Structure 1
Amino acid sequence: MATAHSTPLRTSDQAVWNRVLSLHAHVERELALALQRRHGIGLSEFRSLEHLQHAEKGELRMQDLADRVGLGQSSVTRLVARLETAGFAFKDLCPSDKRGVYAVITDEGRDRYQAARATYAEVLSSALNTFTGDPELGPTVQALRAALS
């Protein structure tokens, strides 16, 4: 029985969740390194360009982009500023509501996304394949792949 000073027993849900988080951390690290080395962009920049690329008219409200990338408002503002500096996106005001600010992908941003997309897919598959052989993470990879097939 667990007391206030002892470690509580791990439930199977906690064990599964911890494996998912571990797998996520390993794969994210591999993706981030490859994108930075090969394309000079971070993982958040890549994901932002991906969301903008697939958005109607290539634009999203800043808050919508923040929600999709999993960032707070101030973080997405800094992220879009980096994309702007690189020439991959720009900010635009909503014509009907001057308080609404959009992030808009540029042609250069589309090109960078297209170039980085293959790297992302290659590194993701490679990392998942590598972890398939790991005794602790392998079953998690297999379960995730089976759930999405």
Structure 2
Amino acid sequence: MAHADSDRWTRLIMLHSRVEQRLAEALHRDSALGLSEFRALCHLAASSDGELRMQEVADLVGLNQSTVSRLAGRLERAGLAERCHCAGDRRGVYLGITDTGRERQARALPVYEATLSGALDEAAASTDRELAALTRRLRLPT
């Protein structure tokens, strides 16, 4: 069983890598956004007040604290987000999406979704039967 787990895990990593590469290329080409930048904007846009603590952004996007600080800096320089301090706790730093950030995220979302669907369609039709089966299982309704 351990060998089967290892094989499945390897295929999952391979699928993830292929899909992430396609997504990153499409977002960069069509929206001038990196994948982490896009995902951060999505999480900010979906939050109730358009802002999240920096640590929440790090956790949601899968980044460490120093990397999310650099990400926030890139978003700020592009006018897509801004950092602000929590009124009740000056140590608490938040990242908030700007109107420009909302517009860019909304324009990039269809590109992301179409690219994701296309990459998964391609993997599901792969001649690698295990990869194709894994992809089909991932797409089953929950």
**TM-score calculated relative to the size of structure 1:** 0.91
Question: Equivalent residues in 2 for 1:19-98 (5 A)?
Answer: 19-98=11-90
Tell whether 2:100 aligns with 1:108. Answer: yes
Q: In the alignment, what sits opposite 2:3?
A: 11
Please list the CA deviations of residues 81-101 of structure 1 after superposition, one character each: whole Å capped at 9, or x if unmatched: 000000000000000000000
Q: Distance in 2 between matches of 1:52 and 1:32?
A: 19
Normalising by the residue count of structure 2, what TM-score does the alignment of the two structures yield? Answer: 0.95
- Give the total of aligned pairs: 140
Instruction: Answer yes or no: is 1:143 the counterpart of 2:137.
Output: yes
Indicate the residue corresponding to 1:128 in structure 2: 120
Structure 1 spans left out of the alignment, 5+ residues: 1-8
Q: Which runs of 5+ in 2 are unaligned?
A: none
- Relative to structure 2, which stretch is displaced further, 127-136 or 25-34? 127-136
Q: After TM superposition, where is structure 1 displaced by more than 6 Å over at least 4 residues in a row?
A: none
What is the distance in 2 between the residues matched to 1:28 and 1:10? 27
C-alpha displacement of 1:11 = 1.1
Instruction: Give the greater-gyration-radius structure (CA).
Output: 1
Equivalent position SS for 1:11: helix
Q: Output the CA distance in 1 between the equivalents of 2:118 and 2:51.
A: 31
SS in 1 for 2:52: strand
Could you list the per-position Cα deviations for residues 19-39 of structure 1 after superposition, in whole angstroms to 9, with x for gaps in the alignment?
A: 111000000000000000000
What root-mean-square deviation, in Å, do the aligned CA atoms of Structure 1 and Structure 2 show? Answer: 1.2
- The worse-fitting range, judged by mean Cα deviation, of 126-135 and 102-111 is 126-135
